[in-house]
Chains A and B, each alone.
Chain A
């Protein structure tokens, strides 16, 4: 046989190992998918779930009161302390309150902004607005927190003083882009014709918002709120800088790792925001709003 080497038949007959592997992967979509996902899965499994498991395991140990050494015996004592001590309950509730307040404030500011960016601005203005929203993320967290400290100090331009309100304002500022961007992306995907169809069928602005825009943007709102809520729940630096004497969960964790040298108790406290987030996600899931898309 003297077929030209470049005919398709010849190409098929040259079954190099690489070719055979490609063909095998082509035929077995499952294998292909698991190979593609293995790296992210490994990362998620070890770095993330592993860390969570370690956290929870550590929370079941206890530390020697004097030396701070770990005693690796399983005990629920840390959680008992956490739930029975009045001050921790107060701090946990306060932290949730702050996170909810920050999320709501960001939502109220972000939604109209994102809507204007996605639906009203010209394409050119849109690009600039996205950059404008992103710019604060380039500056250091500490710089922004201290800037608010200066503004809020009794001699500053705002002069409202420090405390819980100052913390909420500062956190709202810090996490605002994380609320704007997902909502912007969500509204951007919403076809203009849906808004026009609502108007065409007689709906005015508010009804269109309530019956079309909000339900379709809701998953994006949830995505944004997960950022603002969890970032607020875990924060301990902003509250140190502008919070005056108020304490949040993050401070308790931090103080127990540092000054108190009680790692197991810190771990127990740290599971609280994780559990709260899980409860939040489960609640959102139950509304069924995420399945529509």
Chain B
């Protein structure tokens, strides 16, 4: 827990540092109190391993979809290259994006539930969109295994052990369509990976990504407020403490 505390202090400090909150005004005097007391969410913040953290709210940081840890680790490493940790703040892994994707793949998203998946399948032009017979969860599996194959082929080593630059080279090949994949184009896979990573970084923390709302903090996005009618006319940029959807339950 000591570990956890340091992290949440750091993020708190960053939040305060990055912000020039006006006391009173739109935010209200309770603001600092609220942020310091934001414990409900601190546990979502880091990708802590279960042994180190016995907080109940971390139970959802486990695998719903992937069966092999290695596949999940490759996915994690790839998302981190798409959205790396930098001076702005955490990258995909710390935000929990890999768990977000794992959980999404297990459900309606991964199984294309609300999409037209009837035969026949033909490749189609770039302008005709998604045309693979594979569902998203299968596309991810094919893609992740291909990332590892490309890595073995190109660098004689696992993707997990590559330098960042080498990882980027491989991912770039997928984006450029320069890899042979079975059943789906490499660009389709890459675009799914890219968009799912951003979705995990910036969706409501309810989905398991955007840990501790740090994705929103970096972007100075306040999440979910009920009303801006008193602020919309104001000239200055207004920073607000982010609120999750869960806040809607309160009142």
Bound together:
no
Interface residues of A (CB under 8 A from B): none
